[in-house]
Chain A
Amino acid sequence: MSFVDGLRYRLQVWCRPDKHRAAIDAETEFHLSLDTMQLGDGTAARRRFGNRTAQRMLRREASGAGPADRLAQDARFAWRQLVREPALTLTVIVTLALGIAASTTMFAIIDQVLIRPPAGIADARRVVQVGKAPDGPQAAMRGYSVSYASYLQFREMRDLFSGVTAETQGRVTINPGPDAVRARVTFVAEDYFGTLGVRLALGRTFTTEETAPRSDARTVIVSWNWWRTRLGGAPNAVGRTINIRNARFTVIGVAPRHFTGTVLADNDLWLPLGARSFLSFANDRWIDDRGSSFFRVTMRLRPGVEAERATAIAAVRWSAWRVRSGKGGTKGSGLALNALAPGLGSAEPEHRVARLLAALSIALLLIACANVINLLLARSLARRREIAIRVALGISRGRLLRLFVADALLLALFAGAAALAFTAVVVPLARAVLFAGGSGGEWNVGWRLALFTAIVAVGAGVVVGTLPAIVALRDTSIAALQGSGRGAGQRGRRTRFTLLVVQGSLSVALLACCGLFVQSLSRINAKPVGFDLDHLLSVPMEQERTSDSTDASERMLAEAMRRRALATPGVEAAALSYGEPFEGAIGFKLTLPNGDSLDEEKHGTAFVYWVSPDYFATTGLVIRRGRPLSADDRGADVAVVDAGLAAALWPHADPIGQCFHVDAETSYPTCTRVVGVTDDARQRQLIVSRPQLQFYLPLTAAPRYLGDILVLTVRARNPIRIAATLHRALQDVRPGLPWIAVTPFTELVAPELRPWRLGARVFATFGGLALLIAMAGIFSVLRHTTLQRRRELGVRRALGAQSGSIARLVVREALAAALVASLLGSIAVVVSGRWLGVLLFEASPGDGAVLIAVNLILLTGCVVASAVPAWRATRADPMLALREE
């Protein structure tokens, strides 16, 4: 009871200090008046009372409000400092804000991409995906695609998993016609949403019948964004229909906001598995074919079952089944159940870039802090007198330290707020930079980010305020009290020098990383693609599957299209092939006559393209040895391989005339003879770390089940200009054709190159910022040093020193720091080669060119930054300086 009353009083005193003080004053007046009456003398009464201010302070202390008063005092002091020098304040805030913003932006990205599982999934830690156990230094693919039959096996393991589901991605055309749109879709097996624990925002999920493999249900669940943008966010969206490839699909539900599936990539629609037979590849071969492995299996662990145990048991059962069903082998030996979030150790290139950027952003923060410390040091040196008086009047060390830190904290808090605002704008931009193929709708950057920003800001403030305080505390000479410049030049000199070196070496490291990245990028771009990217257009032929269409009629249509394309003005050549460039391709197992097969662990899968004879001429793929495919080659008994595949299969022999077997169809011969060798070509992905192996078979040998990934490739001198004409010409070939999309190749690769291009810009920006901040630091430090050394320099000039030697004196300190910084920074870069791996595309960190360039830039920047202070120093009037004392 008493505690509550006491608390209430204390709260009153804390929150209304003015009222409390007024009450104290009134009581004091009352006391004095009574005392005066008693003593008869007002002066004596006042004397007996003592110092009113001191008494008031004592009373405030006794009531427990002391700390609050001191805090308010510190805050007022800090505010006064800020307002007194607005230019300095602004510089400090902006510098800190940049450093903090860089760190928090990277934190937001790392948090969302690596640490947090995809949004919308309930209890995501209990959800795992089938993956391949990493073996060896090669970074294993996280996601491991299996066949439908394998998925069914996992579904049987009910003792381990309370829910098992499968999915596969694809693209479909919505509203074929002038308003056609390509949508990203996920085909899902039964209980997809249930296993993930996702509650739809509207409507219902698929029923078991709808997700049966042979079902022809035409139902679709749309994503939140799709619902908002294309269905108007209407509550009655359920029941409306969407035209997917000219079939009406009924909307039965809307996914919750932020949910994009099990991966962090945009997804527009979810469709039942059965629809895949209709929409993609136009056949249901995938149900039974063990070779069709493109399903990702996701499961929820049963309560009480741990991931390790589940992995071990599931792996044993799965490989036992594979052996039993005749598909056992070395491939897929290690099964792993991966958590949904990639985790900080993820080895994918985008993630490694993100991690590196995070490290670099911390470096930027440190540079910013070093700079701010220098600025604050300079300011406190300019206020020596004020501080020395405080010390002489008996301020305790702790109190002085608190004053400085309060000042710095206030600055840091402003900077933190600015950084937070900045981050909110920059994070979406940074996402676009790093993750090309969409990155999962909007992210919710919420309180975690704000908390992180606050921690970083407070940390920076404390660090930045403490150092100047320590230096100021040691500065208690008489000269300080007099406020003269004597001795000030030496104070804190070592600290300043160290800080400059720290700034400089971090800048060197930062700039070097940027340089390496830009260099790698230019090397990537310079690598030949293998075919003439700039002169080609791609026309995928999505054909209507009607009951009476046959393979032959489709080929006739395709040939008609090809002839019409050739007749179009501006077109130089046209060829047909199976396989859409930069989309998907098919790989097969290759065996040699002696029983060996292609070592896919080492070289990767070999991908095949079935092409018409003029394909090589059309695309510009150069035949290095032998001959291209001709019109006489009809079956799969001849092939053209690329140089990489030839080297992998026959490292020491001439590939021409050699035999290999393609395990595509039972009708394929045991010996497919190599008749030609082409250059390596990058047809699946532009940026790869190891060469893709490809080979080419005649178009007529293509298996029946390939369906509609027939592509017409057209060569033109100016693809972008004739795209519209070509489209019109082709659409007219036959009435009622589905929409013909004509895309120049350059547009196809743009999404893949974009993050690297923009990434180069981000790195360059980081480096530029670092350099600017470092230069600003040098400038301000030199300026203050010169001011402090005015007297000394004045004396020198009076004694006859030349302008040149004066300038040299000033610049010497900066240059010394810069040289040491260059050395340290360069060593750091060379030593950290291992972590920089992702930046080094066929380069090493000891690469001379980049380091030399960076060091030169730093030294030049240093000289430039010291130019103005040096010039000012030479203009100093010796008489003015000498008289100052």
Chain B
Amino acid sequence: MAAAERPRDTLLRGTLDMLILRTIERQPLHGYAIAQQIERLSQEVLAVEQGSLYPALERLQARGWVTGKAGTTPTGRQARYYTISRAGRKQLGEQISSFDRVLEAIQRVMRPAADTD
């Protein structure tokens, strides 16, 4: 997702939120690490730029799905670590199911015409 002056459409914004929540589901990470993780796991297809990442993190904190706290990196540096909250987990579950529904719907539309018979 390229950085834009403001989020282009809700689908993309909601998807980014979902990706972030999933990334920190297992363990708290700092912002840079979140971006790296998404890039790595998607095999470099998805590149999150800081122009989208950090505003998204602010949004998530403002809605109480993520909490940010100061922490120490393995190399001993100070950084802000983001943890998913319980409400965040619930939200993640809902977003995953709705994303799956949308994805399936898109696939149904895009399938070749012959297959619909």
Question: Does A724 interact with chain B (Cβ within 8 Å)?
Answer: no
Residues 52-99 of B at the A interface (beta carbon under 8 Å):
54-56, 58-59, 61-65, 67, 77-80, 85-88, 91
Interface bits A1-16 vs B (CB < 8 Å: 1, else 0): 1111111011001000
Residues of A within 8 A of B64 (CB): 1-7, 9
Residues of B within 8 A of A9 (CB): 61-62, 64, 67
Shortest Cβ distance from B77 into A: residue: A30
Contact A31 B32 (CB under 8 A): yes
Chain-B contact segment, one of A53-61, A491-499, A664-672, A713-721 = A53-61
Q: A30 with B87: in contact, given A50-B3, A63-B59 (CB under 8 Å)?
A: no
Taken together as a complex, chains A and B put the C-alpha atoms of A879 and B63 apart, in Å, by: 67
Taken together as a complex, chains A and B put the C-alpha atoms of A553 and B3 apart, in Å, by: 112
Question: Does B22 interact with chain A (Cβ within 8 Å)?
Answer: no
Q: A2 with B65: in contact, given A35-B32, A59-B55 (CB under 8 Å)?
A: yes
Taken together as a complex, chains A and B put the C-alpha atoms of A7 and B59 apart, in Å, by: 12
**Within the complex, what minimum Cβ distance (angstroms) separates A226 from chain B?**
62
Contact B87 A49 (CB under 8 A): no
Residues of A within 8 A of B65 (CB): 2, 6
**Within the complex, what minimum Cβ distance (angstroms) separates A68 from chain B?**
13
Query: Size band of the A side of the interface?
Result: 20 to 34
Contact A62 B88 (CB under 8 A): no
Taken together as a complex, chains A and B put the C-alpha atoms of A382 and B62 apart, in Å, by: 44
Query: Size band of the B side of the interface?
Result: 20 to 34
Residues of B within 8 A of A7 (CB): 64
Most chain A CB neighbours (cut-off 10 Å) among B54, B58, B65 = B58
Residues of B within 8 A of A5 (CB): 64, 67, 85, 87
**Within the complex, what minimum Cβ distance (angstroms) separates B17 from chain A?**
11
Taken together as a complex, chains A and B put the C-alpha atoms of A283 and B55 apart, in Å, by: 91
Taken together as a complex, chains A and B put the C-alpha atoms of A34 and B85 apart, in Å, by: 27
Residues of B within 8 A of A528 (CB): none
From DSSP, what is the main secondary structure of chain A's interface residues? Answer: helix
Question: Does A809 interact with chain B (Cβ within 8 Å)?
Answer: no
Question: Does A732 interact with chain B (Cβ within 8 Å)?
Answer: no
Question: Does B51 interact with chain A (Cβ within 8 Å)?
Answer: yes
Taken together as a complex, chains A and B put the C-alpha atoms of A25 and B6 apart, in Å, by: 20
Question: Does B15 interact with chain A (Cβ within 8 Å)?
Answer: no
Contact A31 B50 (CB under 8 A): yes
Contact A27 B62 (CB under 8 A): no
Taken together as a complex, chains A and B put the C-alpha atoms of A2 and B87 apart, in Å, by: 6
Residues of B within 8 A of A62 (CB): 54-56, 58-59, 62
Contact B85 A58 (CB under 8 A): no
Shortest Cβ distance from A35 into B: residue: B32
Q: A55 with B56: in contact, given A2-B63, A2-B88 (CB under 8 Å)?
A: no
Contact A63 B51 (CB under 8 A): no
Residues of B within 8 A of A63 (CB): 58-59, 61-62
Residues of B within 8 A of A24 (CB): 54
Taken together as a complex, chains A and B put the C-alpha atoms of A114 and B71 apart, in Å, by: 67
Taken together as a complex, chains A and B put the C-alpha atoms of A58 and B51 apart, in Å, by: 8
Q: A30 with B50: in contact, given A9-B61, A9-B62, A62-B62 (CB under 8 Å)?
A: no
Q: B-contacting residues of A (Cβ < 8 Å)? A: 1-7, 9-10, 13, 23-24, 26-27, 30-31, 34-35, 48-50, 55, 58-64
Chosen A-B contacts, 21 in total, with CB atoms closer than 8 Å, are A2-B65, A2-B86, A2-B87, A5-B64, A5-B85, A5-B87, A10-B62, A24-B54, A27-B79, A30-B77, A30-B80, A31-B32, A35-B32, A48-B49, A55-B51, A59-B54, A60-B58, A62-B54, A62-B56, A63-B59, A63-B61
Q: A9-B64, A24-B54, A27-B31 are in contact. List 12 more A-B contacts (CB 8 A).
A: A1-B86, A2-B65, A4-B64, A9-B62, A9-B67, A30-B78, A31-B31, A49-B50, A50-B3, A55-B51, A63-B59, A63-B61
